[in-house]
């Protein structure tokens, strides 16, 4: 069993998601937003975020893969599950659990632009700007974190720990 050190406690995560939900509600006042959840990790954050947005929200899910091995991005992005709905004239917010290299998001934004949305913004629970290799504009960030291997709130290590209600660091994992 790995040792997990708490990086961001549950209460802080909850408070910050509430603040981001309120900001999105203000920014899109009088409009409807379409959240695109990037699976699997983004589902926990997307559900909590959607509950805190006070304007009309619709949801869709997309699964992409850019990891050739367990912990390092291969740089090749593959669509595993595409969206179910048209994006024409919608206000999109791509919801991610973590922005790391930026490769996946840079690819997704370019691909989704071709589908005719009114706007595209990015919202992430965690951002590791020190790992960025592709420039992406993250519009809503809950937490910037150091370059550590984190789990919880949807993030996993070998498919474990997604269900932790806080953000933790797996000790001894690079």
In the DSSP assignment, the letter for residue 43 is: H
Is 100 annotated in the active site?
A: yes
Nearest to 40 by CA among 21, 62, 58: 62
Residues 6 or more apart whose Cβ sits within 8 Å of residue 118 = 89, 90, 91, 92
Pairing of strands 167-170, 150-151: antiparallel
Catalytic-labelled residue, pool 14, 27, 89, 100: 100
Nearest to 34 by CA among 52, 17, 54, 56: 56
Asked whether the beta carbons of 151 and 7 are under 8 A apart, the reply is no
DSSP β-bridge partners for residue 78: 65
Asked whether the beta carbons of 122 and 94 are under 8 A apart, the reply is yes
Q: Is the peptide bond before 26 cis (omega within 30 degrees of 0)?
A: no
Residues marked active site are found at 100
């Amino acid at each position: 069993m790995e040792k997990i050190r708490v990086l961001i406690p549950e209460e802080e995560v909850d408070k910050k998601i509430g603040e981001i939900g309120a900001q999105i509600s203000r920014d899109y006042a009088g409009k409807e937003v379409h959240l695109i959840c990037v699976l699997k990790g983004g589902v926990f954050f997307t559900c909590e975020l959607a509950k805190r947005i006070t304007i009309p929200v619709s949801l869709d899910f997309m699964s992409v893969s850019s990891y050739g091995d367990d912990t390092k991005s291969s740089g090749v992005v593959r669509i595993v599950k595409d969206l179910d709905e048209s994006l024409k004239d919608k206000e999109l917010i791509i919801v991610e659990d973590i922005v790391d290299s930026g490769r996946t998001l840079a690819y997704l934004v370019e691909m989704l632009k071709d589908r005719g949305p009114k706007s595209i913004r990015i919202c992430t629970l965690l951002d590791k700007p020190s790992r960025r290799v592709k420039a992406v504009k993250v519009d809503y960030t809950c937490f910037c974190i150091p370059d550590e291997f984190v789990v919880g709130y949807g993030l996993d290590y070998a498919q474990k720990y997604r269900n932790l209600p806080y953000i933790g660091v797996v000790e001894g994992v690079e």
